[in-house]
């Protein structure tokens, strides 16, 4: 298949792109742009960070992504910047010279990735308004201890960039786009097209950000049968925010959804902020996080507690499903062949509801939960009238804690009620011991999250994060 | 006292930030290049009863497949004991061990094919843990004993006595550039190897033995590594040897660029240890007697474990006088990947043990641990280590006192006590602990280095030495030394890749020794040339050579000031050699390993750090809030580079003790084989406030410009984090006079476990 993208305003045409060829390998071994490095080939170290852009207004909306798990066809019709792009004019950017002066590199291998993350921040790429440490939490450095990198970022926080020419070139590129270039790769441009494709190929593999499926290829060495890329389906990329809540199209990326979700509840915003590094949140989607059915996917427990529902579509048929009903068993979801998740709706919690969402992992950033707990208590006059409690990491699927909910429902919000709910929680789950935590730890920590909720409601500081920065 | 040396940036800094610094996998690939992958064991300990590689050979892109039988020379990639096989021969000793080697036309083809081997195994019982191996008496060498006085008697008469133990985990190096090597066959059986190794000479010698050729036929080159930290001291060898084997057998260039997950499974890590202590002390917390048992998991082969465990013993005193002490060190052999060198080389494990003992003594007496630390420091009349070395420059008391003041330790400790009474869920802790780290390879003959300096007739200088650049700034430091000799800017010095055909028989760049050894060797080489140039200048200026002065303005001889380049040209015309080698061997060190007595170290590097932490007692989460460091690098060769080593070392040590957990399944599989599950610190884990100051002093020994080594010592500064976490946990039960049995790494789970144990 032929794909085309813009690299430093020049069109790169790849006539023989395999659907599972990665952008990183193409840059390094075909274009000989070896500044972009492979550190892990699974999206966890950021050494392969590049900027990918779409036309927006008369400029470009850039986002930092991991090139190692980005399939080449996913950047068809997009603009790409690598570390080499930054010295196209001959001289390095002020950010780079500052980093060089500042001792921001030691072995230098991770450095181009940091440069691209921080350059993205400086030119206003997605997530640029986050604290610097968040912007680079998806970039691992083993040498410096990060201080000199953070310093350099503070010193050069803004770089002007004129993308008008790139935007024009990108529009021309997309306009001249051959509509059917498919050979082993589909990239529908509308929801109807997607629905029709799935009727024709009911067992096709849907790809949104490839932050999970990418590893099937780079680590599992698998081929993908009939990949369908949904990142260019406009109807799946919409965010609707109203009094009832937030509705996210299935291909909305975490980074795009963050602000709306944070407005639903700050805990939800914080949860999303802690999913992957920024590069992962700039690629991965809430829809993918749900649809792949991971027992520890961080989104679902919180969304279940908030009462989220899914709209699934097959052909022209749609059905709505409570999110908790979607997860049937480990690796098994209530999705028929040919059906796809179109959108997820998350209701807005009542102003006086008690919402508490907590994720426990070895590392705060870019780690997967050992336990993720979400509590949503609807209150009336000091009594809990409705309780929705959901956990990830405690069972084969994200799921509600029925006994715990029963202990809370119609009970006064008191220490004694919490104690009973913690006790009841022991009947809800029989967690596993695995690489992220032992069963006893999970059981104890899950109960303690209820205690944390209690102490927080008493106005006590309960999170070590509150004492930072 | 000489002027401070300038903080020049890393010599490759501009190349790093522009993506133009070339690592081995970045070089243009030669035509006909073969890509390699290992077929790995799916059993933990087993005899191999059959190997069927027909599917591998038939796989797309596969050009050749090799097993142990194909190795022409010795099937050996080990540093000392000749017990590491490149490819398994009859048995496998750990899960993931290489059994066969695939060469294919692409990396993907090689990796896919490597999964198609059919190996028949007869499984044998596997020993996975320290306890397993101890029960089976499985050891890589006998338990070592280092002792002074009668520790048992001192324990018997001490007013107070405590026993206990804890465990500390290993650590993956997680260099960002994985293991990689590129071999190119030359004419007449010669071979050139680009290898990401800290030890080019060892790779050269092993490859020569493996192929049955001479060392003179193998050239190993390394310009830079994308991080190493000890993980490319011995662990680079199998990848280089594999590439060399394929190049030799096929006549085609061959590259082994290892996948991250495979790398983490295939290569050794820091040793995990268990510690048992029996300590006797007086009412003031002076340690009177100590029996310390250190046990480490060495893995399937010897590797460098004897020296690493020796270094753990050498550092089990840290900065403290132990009048009657017995240190026992068990080196256990398990069916796990062989543990290897990692920054600190056993020192961190030994030091963490004694710091825990101090914390226990303090908690038992209800005293400030810093007072107990101070009370036990070496001092006049109590200045001999358990291995009989007298400490020449005991700056620890003064250094700790200054950090105690500068960090405002006492006021902050009081404030933390107050915080802890006011908060139920969150508890804070603070700890200040010293570091004293012995500098030299404890294997004495390794303390040697060579350098080669060329001065060209245009006045430019080319520098080569046996040290390798892994990001630590060695190259720029040595270049500065050479530039200083000639009083020219460091930019005049072209730094060149480390190569075994330029400087032979080198030691690994390890043990923090890089600048000490290579800086001095390069100084010698440059000084030889300078003396020759001075002779030429003296004849021009009509003065004695001793009176010639090299200055930034030129070479001053009598009334003449000769530009450096002019002098070089004149020297060439006068037929004076402008090339010289230099050699250095560390003086005054000697060690009797059988008795564990002597002077293994040329000197000590010191430091201290103070960490403040907060713990969530419900979830076990924590944060390191603030860190103050005061560190001794002697007279710094480059303060900016040294500060970078200190900060990087601290954060790496913090990772070892907090987030970095290696998990093995019951069947011997490493479950934490990728950054998805193995968590090194991110920028967000760096303490909110981290201040670092350099101790103002100089080395008492005549090292290069009176500097001190800096690579490893700062790693151990992080031990105060574990102590501070223990303090915070202890605050959950303030009336208990005990220190929580907190294991490292202090994951949320480990912290909750320690809280529960402390409350019990």
Burial string for B392-425 (b: 16+ CB within 10 Å, else e) reads ebbbbeebbebbbeebebeebbeebeebbeebbb
C-beta atoms of B641 and A103 within 8 A: yes
pLDDT for B5 beyond 90: no
Whether residue B1 is predicted with pLDDT greater than 50 in this model: the reply is no
In A, minimum Cα distance to B27 occurs at: A34
Q: What is the ipTM of this complex?
A: 0.98
**8-state DSSP, B320:** B
Q: Is A433 on the interface with B (CB under 8 A)?
A: no
State the pLDDT at residue A181: 56
Residue linked to tokens 């003296």: B538
Q: Is 3.10.20.30 the CATH number for A1-174?
A: yes
CB contact under 8 Å between B25 and A34, yes or no, is yes
Measured between beta carbons, which residues in chain B are less than 8 angstroms from residue A132?
683
DSSP letters for B65-102? EE-GGG-SS-----SSSS---SS--SEE-STT-EEEEE
Pairing state of beta strands A339-347 and A309-314? antiparallel
Marked catalytic residue, from B469, B701, B712, B727? B712
Instruction: Specify whether the CB–CB gap between B215 and B204 falls below 8 A.
Output: yes
Interface of A with B in 94-123 (CB under 8 A): 96-97, 99-101, 103-112, 115
Of A86, A364, A463, the CB nearest to B684: A364
From chain B, pick out residues whose CB is under 8 angstroms from the CB of A435.
Answer: 663, 671-672, 677
Judging contacts by C-beta atoms under 8 Å, the chain B residues touching residue A34 are 19, 22, 25-26
Q: Which residues of A touch B16 (CB under 8 A)?
A: 100, 105, 108, 111-112
- A339 three-class SS: strand
> In 3D, which of B349, B334, B339 has the Cα closest to residue B129?
B334
Across B383-403, average pLDDT: 97
Q: How far is A150 from chain B (nearest CA, A)?
A: 8
Q: Which of A385, A7, A452, A153 is nearest to B621 (CA)?
A: A452
Residues B284-338 have pLDDT tens digits of 999 999 999 999 999 999 999 999 999 999 999 999 999 999 999 999 999 999 9
CB contact under 8 A, B644 and A133: no
Task: Round to whole Å and give the CA distance between B7 and B637.
Answer: 8
Asked if the domains A1-174 and A354-467 are classified in one and the same CATH topology, the answer is no
Closest by Cβ to A40, choosing from B19, B108, B260: B260
Is the per-residue pLDDT at B452 higher than 90? yes
Which residues from chain A sit within 8 angstroms of residue B178, using beta carbons? 38-39
Residue in B261, B641, B690 closest to A219 by CB: B261
Cβ burial B489-528 (10 Å sphere, 16+ → b, else e): ebebbebbbbbbebbeebbbbbbbbbbbbbbbbbbbbbbb
CATH superfamily of A354-467: CO dehydrogenase flavoprotein, C-terminal domain (3.30.390.50)
Q: Give the containing element (helix H, strand E) for B297.
A: strand B287-299
Contact B18 A96 (CB under 8 A): yes
Residue of B nearest to A102 (CA): B9
- Distance, in Å, from the CA atom of A376 to the CA atom of A453, rounded to the nearest integer, reads 10
Q: Please answer yes or no on whether A132 and B22 come within 8 Å at the CB atom.
A: no
Task: Tell which residue, B463, B476, B495, B483, has the closest CA to residue B645.
Answer: B476
- In the stretch 300-329 of chain A, residues with CB closer than 8 A to chain B read none
Nearest CA to B434 among B654, B648, B609, B634?
B609
- How far apart CA B760 and CA B757 sit, in angstroms, is 5
Q: Give the residue, B225 or A225, on which the prediction is more confident.
A: B225
CA distance to partner chain A, nearest, from residue B699 (Å):
25
B656 touches chain A (CB under 8 A): no
- Interface contact B112, partner A, CB < 8 A: yes
At B450, which helix (H) or strand (E)?
strand B448-455
Inter-chain contacts counted by CB atoms under 8 A, chains A and B: 278
- Alpha helix segments (H runs only) across B304-429: 305-314, 347-365, 369-376, 396-406, 409-422
Nearest CA in chain B to A212: B676
pLDDT in tens, B568-585: 999 999 999 999 999 999
Contact B17, A105 (CB under 8 A): yes
User: Two tokens at B120?
Assistant: 């028949």
Residue B607 has pLDDT above 80, yes or no: yes
Residue numbers of chain A with a pLDDT score lower than 70: 177-182, 469
Contacting residues for B494 by C-beta, under 8 A, at least 6 apart: B460, B461, B462, B463
Query: A36, B625: Cβ pair inside 8 Å?
Result: no
Tell me the nearest-neighbour CA distance from B425 into chain A, angstroms.
6
- State pLDDT tens for residues B619-659: 999 999 999 999 999 999 999 999 999 999 999 999 999 99
The answer to whether residues B346 and B722 touch, using CB atoms and an 8 Å cutoff, is no
> How close does chain A come to B616, measured CA to CA in Å?
6
Asked if A42 has any chain B CB less than 8 Å from its own CB, the reply is yes
- Would you give the end-to-end CA distance of chain B in angstroms? 57
The angle formed by the CA atoms of residues A203, A207 and A211, to the nearest 5 degrees, is 135
Check CB contact under 8 Å for B616 and A105: no
pLDDT tens, residue by residue, B59-87: 999 999 999 999 999 999 999 999 999 99
Q: What is the C-alpha end-to-end distance of chain A, expressed in Å?
A: 49
Q: Which fold would CATH assign to domain A238-347?
A: 3.30.465
Q: What ranges do the domains of chain A cover?
A: 1-174, 238-347, 354-467
Residue pLDDT, tens place only, B337-366: 999 999 999 999 999 999 999 999 999 999
| Average pLDDT, rounded, for chain B | 97
Name every chain A residue with its beta carbon within 8 A of the beta carbon of B685.
363-365
Is B712 catalytic? The answer is: yes
Q: Among B643, B674, B684, whose Cβ lies nearest the Cβ of A365?
A: B684
Question: Mind telling me how many Å the CA of A393 is from chain B's nearest CA?
Answer: 14
Nearest CA in chain A to B662: A435
Helices (H) and strands (E) in chain A, counts: 17, 19
Does A438 touch chain B if contact means CB atoms closer than 8 Å?
yes
Cβ proximity of B519 and B513 under 8 Å: no
Tokens 């989607």 belong to residue: A285
Token pair listed for B489: 């800017």
Residues of A in contact with B640 (CB under 8 A): 103
So what's the pLDDT on residue A177?
A: 65
């Amino acid at each position: 298949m032929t794909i085309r993208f813009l690299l430093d305003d020049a069109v790169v045409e790849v006539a023989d792109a395999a659907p599972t060829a990665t952008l990183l390998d193409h840059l390094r071994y075909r274009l000989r742009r070896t500044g972009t490095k492979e550190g892990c080939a699974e999206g966890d170290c950021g050494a392969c960070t590049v900027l990918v852009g779409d036309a927006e207004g008369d400029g470009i909306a850039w986002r930092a992504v991991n090139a190692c798990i980005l399939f080449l066809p996913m950047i068809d019709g997009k603009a790409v910047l690598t570390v080499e792009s930054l010295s196209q004019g001959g001289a390095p950017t002020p950010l780079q010279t500052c980093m060089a002066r500042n001792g921001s590199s030691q072995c230098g291998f991770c450095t181009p990735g940091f440069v691209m993350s921080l350059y993205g921040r400086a030119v206003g790429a997605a997530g640029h308004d986050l604290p610097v440490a968040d912007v680079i939490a998806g970039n691992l450095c083993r040498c410096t201890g990060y201080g000199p990198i953070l310093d350099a970022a503070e010193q050069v926080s803004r770089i002007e960039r004129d993308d008008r020419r790139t935007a024009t070139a990108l529009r021309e590129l997309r306009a001249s786009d051959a509509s059917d270039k498919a050979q082993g790769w589909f990239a529908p441009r509308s929801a109807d097209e997607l629905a029709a494709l799935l009727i024709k190929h009911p067992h096709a593999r849907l790809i949104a950000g490839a932050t999970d499926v990418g590893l099937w290829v780079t680590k599992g060495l698998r081929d993908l049968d009939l990949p369908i890329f949904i990142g260019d389906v406009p109807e799946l990329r919409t965010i609707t925010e109203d009094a009832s809540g937030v509705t996210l199209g299935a291909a909305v990326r975490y980074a795009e959804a963050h602000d709306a979700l944070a407005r639903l509840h700050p805990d939800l915003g914080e949860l999303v902020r802690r999913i992957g590094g920024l590069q992962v949140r700039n690629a991965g989607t809430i829809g993918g996080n749900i649809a792949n059915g991971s027992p520890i996917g961080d989104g679902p427990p919180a969304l279940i507690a908030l009462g989220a529902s899914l709209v699934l579509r097959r052909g022209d048929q749609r059905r709505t499903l409570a999110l908790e009903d979607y997860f049937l068993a480990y690796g098994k979801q209530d999705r028929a062949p040919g059906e796809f998740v179109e959108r997820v709706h998350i209701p807005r919690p009542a102003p006086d509801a008690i919402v508490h969402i907590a994720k426990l992992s070895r590392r705060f950033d870019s780690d997967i939960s050992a336990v993720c707990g979400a509590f949503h208590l609807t209150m009336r006059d000091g009594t809990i009238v409705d309780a929705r409690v959901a956990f990830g990491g405690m069972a084969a699927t994200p799921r509600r804690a029925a006994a715990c909910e029963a202990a809370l429902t119609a009970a006064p919000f008191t220490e004694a009620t919490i104690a009973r709910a913690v006790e009841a929680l022991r009947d809800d789950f029989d967690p596993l011991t695995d690489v992220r935590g032992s069963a006893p730890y999970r059981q104890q920590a899950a109960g303690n999250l209820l205690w944390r909720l209690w102490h927080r409601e008493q106005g006590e500081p309960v999170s070590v994060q509150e004492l930072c920065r | 006292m000489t002027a401070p040396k300038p903080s020049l940036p890393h010599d490759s800094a501009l190349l790093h930030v522009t993506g133009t610094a070339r690592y081995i996998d970045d070089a243009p690939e030669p035509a006909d290049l073969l890509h390699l992958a290992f077929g790995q064991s799916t059993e933990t300990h087993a005899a191999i009863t059959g190997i069927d590689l027909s599917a591998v050979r038939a796989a797309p892109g596969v050009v050749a497949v090799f097993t142990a039988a194909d190795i022409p020379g010795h099937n050996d990639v080990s540093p000392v004991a000749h017990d590491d096989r490149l490819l398994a021969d009859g048995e496998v000793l750990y899960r993931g061990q290489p059994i066969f080697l695939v060469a294919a036309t692409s990396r993907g083809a090689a990796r896919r094919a490597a999964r198609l081997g059919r190996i028949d195994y007869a499984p044998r019982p596997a020993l996975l843990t320290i306890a397993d191996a101890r029960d089976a008496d499985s050891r890589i060498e006998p338990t070592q004993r280092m002792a002074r006085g009668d520790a048992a008697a001192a324990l018997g008469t001490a007013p107070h006595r405590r026993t206990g133990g804890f465990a500390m985990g290993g650590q993956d190096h997680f260099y960002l550039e994985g293991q990689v090597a590129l071999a190119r066959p030359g004419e007449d059986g010669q071979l050139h190897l680009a290898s990401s190794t800290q030890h080019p000479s060892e790779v050269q010698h092993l490859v020569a033995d493996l192929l049955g050729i001479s060392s003179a036929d193998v050239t190993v080159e390394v310009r830079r590594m994308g991080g190493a930290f000890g993980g490319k001291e011995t662990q680079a060898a199998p990848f280089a040897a594999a590439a060399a084997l394929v190049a030799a057998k096929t006549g085609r260039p061959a590259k082994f660029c290892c996948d991250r997950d495979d790398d983490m499974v295939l290569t050794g890590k820091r040793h995990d240890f268990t510690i048992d202590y029996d300590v006797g002390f007086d009412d003031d917390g002076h340690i009177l007697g100590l029996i310390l048992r250190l046990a480490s998991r060495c893995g399937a082969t010897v590797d460098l474990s004897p020296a690493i465990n020796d270094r753990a013993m050498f550092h089990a005193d840290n900065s403290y006088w132990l009048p009657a002490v017995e240190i026992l060190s068990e080196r256990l052999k398990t069916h796990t990947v062989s543990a290897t060198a990692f920054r600190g080389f056993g020192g961190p494990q030994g030091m963490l043990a004694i710091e825990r003992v101090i914390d226990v003594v303090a908690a038992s007496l209800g005293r400030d641990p810093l007072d107990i630390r101070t009370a036990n420091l070496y001092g006049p009349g109590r200045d001999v280590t358990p291995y009989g070395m007298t400490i020449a420059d005991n700056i620890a008391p003064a250094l700790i006192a200054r950090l105690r003041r500068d960090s405002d330790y006492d006021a902050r400790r009081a404030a933390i006590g107050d915080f802890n009474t006011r908060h139920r869920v969150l508890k804070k802790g603070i700890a200040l602990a010293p570091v004293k780290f012995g500098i030299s390879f404890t294997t004495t003959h390794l303390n040697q280095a060579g350098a080669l300096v060329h001065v060209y007739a245009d006045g430019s200088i080319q520098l080569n030495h046996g040290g390798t650049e892994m990001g630590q700034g060695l190259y720029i430091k040595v270049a500065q030394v050479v530039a200083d000799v000639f009083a020219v800017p460091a930019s005049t010095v072209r730094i060149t890749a480390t190569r075994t055909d330029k400087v032979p028989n080198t030691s690994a760049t390890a043990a923090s020794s890089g600048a000490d050894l290579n800086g001095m060797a390069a100084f010698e080489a440059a000084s030889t040339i300078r003396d020759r140039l001075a002779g030429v200048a003296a004849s021009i200026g009509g003065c004695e050579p001793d009176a010639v002065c090299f200055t930034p303005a030129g070479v001053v001889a009598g009334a003449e000031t000769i530009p450096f380049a002019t002098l070089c040209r004149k020297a060439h015309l006068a037929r004076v050699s402008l090339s010289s080698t230099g050699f250095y061997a560390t003086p005054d060190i000697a060690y009797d390993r059988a008795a564990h007595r002597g002077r293994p170290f040329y000197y000590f590097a010191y430091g201290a750090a103070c960490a403040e932490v907060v713990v969530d007692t419900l979830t076990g989460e924590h944060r390191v809030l603030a860190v103050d460091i005061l560190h001794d690098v002697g007279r710094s060769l480059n303060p900016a580079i040294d500060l970078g080593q200190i900060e990087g070392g601290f954060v790496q040590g913090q990772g070892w003790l907090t987030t970095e957990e290696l998990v093995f399944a019951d069947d011997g599989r490493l479950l934490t084989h990728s950054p998805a599950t193995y968590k090194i610190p991110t920028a967000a884990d760096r303490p909110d406030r981290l201040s670092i100051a350099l101790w103002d002093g100089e080395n008492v020994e005549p090292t290069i410009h009176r500097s001190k080594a800096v690579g490893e010592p700062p790693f151990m500064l992080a031990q105060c984090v574990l102590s501070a976490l223990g303090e915070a946990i202890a605050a959950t039960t303030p009336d208990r006079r005990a220190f929580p049995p907190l294991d490292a790494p202090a994951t949320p789970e480990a912290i909750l476990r320690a809280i529960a144990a402390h409350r019990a």
